[in-house]
Amino acid sequence: MPDWSYHGIFRPLLTKLSPMISREFIHRGMNTIASLPFGFGAHIINFLGREESSHFLKLEKHGLEFKNRVGLSGKIDPLQTGTRAFTNLGFGFLEIGPITLNPTEQFTKPIVNDESQVIHFPKNAESIGLEKTFKKLHKLKKKQPIFARLVGTENELLKMIQQLDNFVDGYIIETNRTEILHNTQKPVFYAGEVINFPKQACSGIVLEKKQDSSLVEEIINLRKTGFHGTIITSGGVSEPEHALKLLDAGADFIMVSDGYVFSGPGLTKRINEALVDRLNIDPPPQPGWFSYWLFGLFIMIGGILAFIFSITSVILPYDEYFLEMKRETIWVFNERIMQFMAHDRMTLAGTMISGGIVYMQLARHGVRRGMRWAKQAIDAAAITGFLGIFAFIGYGYFDWLHLVLWLVLLPVYIYGFQKTKGIRGTPSSKNRKNDRVFKKGIFGQLSFVLLGFSFVLGGIVISIIGVTSIFVSTDLAYLCMPPEMMEAFNENLLPVIAHDRAGFGSALLSVGLLVLMMSLWGVQQGQKWVWWTYLIGGLPAFYAGIYIHFAIGYTTFIHLLPAYIALGLFVIGLILTYQFFRKQD
């Protein structure tokens, strides 16, 4: 669940419910998605949130490989209802528990203080018990190290370790009795009072945020005593800056807890992007990016040519050849048919120009810098666009100009695709705080995500209409003529119009995917080029799509309402994200 959906949609609703109900609603819902067969759920989560970690953040410690240094505290999910989902949310490791030998009969409701942004978790360990934990771990497909927090007597700890040892990668215990360490080869971390810390016996220590305590000072003091073991912190992180300070002070790993609830599930991603940003990586230009840029340029040129034709001749000689009729004859029969065709062709032209600009920007600023998300956005949209050519012939008419463009674009795209196969870079971000600029940016991102979804949905609907009924009721009202009369006039006229409709729908779907994926994956603070891509890329499509309707007098409100809504989302997104994309600290 990315921040744009958490803060923009779900959290305002869930705060009306009790903390336990809202927590379980979120965790069970996410777990259900993550449990979809064939890895489909993991792909959905990755598509919406893009939680991959940079390979620069990987590290090995205690014989384990961590994708990054950020983990999740078990306090967030004591019932372990969301563990499967959390494995897909970009964490470097997970803590589960606390685990006790026997289950707790009744769980204490956490007390959430929204004003101070603190969650008061139960002081005594509350657990689903060893048996249920074992069953959950047995079904779990691990994607990162899992540490089990164990609570109990020495004998109970020994029994739990014996049963869990094949399923977890380490333990967190709250006792300084070190005899149990001889019963496992896994790392064991102490989570009690520092004064009682058995330094020589444990692999490291877990420092937990307490009220009015400073984790940074605790870390510094512990390092000053000469301790070189692993330090893990739990809590005290509600924005990336907090995490950076803890790591700078000497912490090896951090676990987010209540800050994860208030800041949102995107906190992990924001911390990792901030860590990448501090590395100040300047990769060499990625081979193949220029081919993708040319791909966008050719689409933009094609759109410009289509725009010129739409405001001059409207139909081309090969259209007349197929129709076996001159354009003048159609003008005389019903001038609104020609105007309607100009309307379809100009909206297609605007969409192509916008799409070409977005392709070029993604290639220049994304793929060139090795951003994997930018390549995948281009690939998904381009392949969809190529497949859309089959929608053009749904009624038996094939546009040869489209074929020429298709043949020009295909080798250019294939070359770029092959050359960028190994791309794996991840984004960086200047974001450090949950300030007003960040919060506005979240809602701006939501606007752009909704805009992308609306384009995708609109493209699908228009494509389906193009290859089925061709017209909607407002079209026929504008034309003042039923399809049967047009078919009687010229039996090839409907296939040409259907071709235009399906072509526009396919182009809108392709560009919609670009906008959607850029909105889901490419919104990071300080990336000014993304804001300019939205602005410059959006203007041609909106101008052509709205202008032509007024130029030909097709101004039915219900017909233009989707365009008005899309324009509103576009403007809102630009306004709310302006400072976010420009802010460098």
Domain-located, residue 3: no
Same domain, 562 and 495: yes
Q: Find how far residue 176's CA is from the centre of its chain.
A: 43
pLDDT at residue number 486 = 95
Residue-level pLDDT at 210: 75
Same domain, 125 and 171: yes
pLDDT at 585: 75
Which residue, 226, 261, 279, sits at the end of a domain?
279
* Residue 31 within any structural domain of the chain: no
In this structure, are 56 and 177 located in the same domain? yes
3-class secondary-structure state, position 172:
strand
Q: Map 238-265 to HEC letters.
A: CCHHHHHHHHHHCCCEEEECHHHHHHCC
* 390 shares its domain with 498: yes
Facing residues of 190 across strands?
A: 173, 205
Which residues in the chain land under pLDDT 70?
115-116, 211-212, 391-396
pLDDT at residue number 392 = 61
Instruction: Establish if 33 belongs to a structural domain.
Output: no
Residue 57 pLDDT: 95
Q: Which residue segment(s) compose the domain that 574 sits in? A: 289-424+431-582
Last residue of a domain, one of 279, 307, 327: 279
Q: Whats the size of the chain, residue-wise?
A: 585
- State residue 212's pLDDT score: 58
The 3 state secondary structure assigned to 2-68 is CHHHHHHHHHHHHCCCCHHHHHHHHHHHHHHHHCCHHHHHHHHHHHHHCCCCCHHHCEEECCEEECC
Helix (DSSP H) and strand (DSSP E) numbers for the chain: 24, 12
Contacts of 176 (CB under 8 A, 6+ apart): 190, 192, 196, 197, 198
- Report pTM: 0.91
pLDDT in tens, 295-336: 999 999 999 999 999 999 999 998 999 999 999 999 999 999
Residues 168 and 148 sit within 8 Å (Cβ to Cβ): yes
Note whether 352 and 478 are same-domain residues.
yes
pLDDT of 391 reads 67
- Number of domains forming the structure of the chain: 2
34 domain-assigned: no
Closest to 92 (Cα-Cα) out of 243, 236, 213:
243
Together in a domain, 330 and 198: no
